[in-house]
Amino acid sequence: MPTFRALLAAFLTLALFGLGAAPLSSEPHLGPAAAYLPRLVAEGGAPTAALLVRDSSPAPYGTYRSTGPNIRSADRFRAGSLTKTFVATVVLQLAQEGRLRLSDPVERLLPRLVRGHGNDGRRITLRALLSHTSGLYDYTADPSAHPLSGTAAVRVALAHRPTGTPGHYAYSNTNYAVLGLVIQRVTGRDYATEIRDRVITPLRLTGTSFPGARTALPAPHGRAYTRDPADGSLRDVTVLDPRTAGAAGSLISTLDDLNRFYAALLGGRLLAPAQLALMMNTRATRGVYGLGIYPEKLSCGITVWGHNGYITGSHVRTAATRDGRHVLTYRVDTDALTGPGTLEPGLLDAEFCTPRPGRSALAGVPDTP
């Protein structure tokens, strides 16, 4: 599972790891995944938890549920590494437009940026960055570094030798810091502006934004907490400098916006079929990761696609069926969730493997008449 590790030693810690109407109001019945929310609080140690489900087959269905105080469906929160799917979408759009090729080496677009300590941008392609097969050291793993730009983040990484063998999967936030710089070189505009104009505005994701250097969350929002390693208490980290996260994890969003984004992406509204197929091709990583998105096979045999994100004060997970018609996003207001390795698979199983009228639990698509 991808990880988005420590960003700021004392303060900012990152570890990874639709469309149309506003969020649906709470349903009169409890959805299958919603039963896990109290467990995220009681067993996972989260102050609050919430989820939003959208399912457009065989008939529109949706539910918002929350547990704990002061968490609302419209809240803005930090989405961490879900940022990577947005960045990958723009890179694939640029490839679709012929403005770059996934086979391009980094050196061609960013001359002499990736050099030193065994790192060589002449041998690292854009596809390798997207799939985390570049071997570049993860700049967030250096606890002494506080880079405030993509270029600075890359410099931190290049002070270290590669931590993975090029061509083999090794999750690294440096890959997406470089991709943010690639977008700027190709378009002449920063990655946040390109994502806004290509994704956020067309899909009307009104709760989604990039904060730049802004340390506060836009309203409405709740609180965010991290656990103090000294005494185990929860510390409020709602206000933080997000610049270290950059193109690897600085996105702010809402439950509804993330569901709508992944529904649009997997439903073919953002990428042509060839580019979407490339995004979901996991051969280079032996099934672990595609290009900015990854699959997870559930106990009933269905595979869901999406991403997760940890950033100080927040853990988020979006998962969707391959066609994007059934999407779930859940979040908690802390990065200190206990036992996500067992609670999260159970939550996803409950949502995607539990049959509802007209839906096959195994196929994840409507039963045929």
- Predicted confidence (pLDDT) per residue in 128-170, tens digit: 999 999 999 999 999 999 999 999 999 999 999 999 788 999 9
What digits encode the pLDDT tens for the residues 278-309?
999 999 999 999 999 999 999 999 999 999 99
Instruction: Classify the C-alpha dihedral 109-110-112-113 as positive or negative.
Output: negative
Rounded percentage of the chain residues whose pLDDT exceeds 70: 86
| pLDDT of 1 higher than 70 | no
What digits encode the pLDDT tens for the residues 19-31?
223 333 334 345 6
- Band (10; pLDDT cuts 50, 70, 90): very low
Q: What is the pLDDT of residue 20?
A: 28
Active site residue 134: no
Residue tagged 């073919």 (tokens): 268
Using CA atoms, how far apart are residues 14 and 245, in angstroms rounded to an integer?
Answer: 8
Q: How many CB atoms lie within 10 A of CB 218?
A: 11
Question: Average pLDDT in the 353-369 region?
Answer: 51
Q: What is the pLDDT of residue 14?
A: 39
| pLDDT of 205 higher than 80 | yes
Question: Average pLDDT in the 232-240 region?
Answer: 93
| Per-chain mean pLDDT for the chain | 88
What digits encode the pLDDT tens for the residues 75-96?
999 999 999 999 999 999 999 9
Q: What is the pLDDT of residue 23?
A: 36
CATH of domain 33-352: 3.40.710.10
Write down the pTM of the prediction. 0.90
- Residue with more model confidence, 333 or 56: 333
Rounded percentage of the chain residues whose pLDDT exceeds 90: 78
Q: What is the pLDDT of residue 337?
A: 85
Residue tagged 């196929």 (tokens): 363
| pLDDT of 368 higher than 50 | no
- Residue with more model confidence, 354 or 323: 323
Question: Average pLDDT in the 14-42 region?
Answer: 58
By the 8 A CB rule, do 149 and 140 touch? no
What digits encode the pLDDT tens for the residues 168-182?
999 999 999 999 999
Q: What is the pLDDT of residue 56?
A: 83
Q: What is the pLDDT of residue 293?
A: 98
Q: What is the pLDDT of residue 11?
A: 34
- Band (203; pLDDT cuts 50, 70, 90): very high
Q: How many CB atoms lie within 10 A of CB 202?
A: 12
Catalytic choice (81, 134, 209, 314) = 81
Q: What is the pLDDT of residue 9?
A: 35
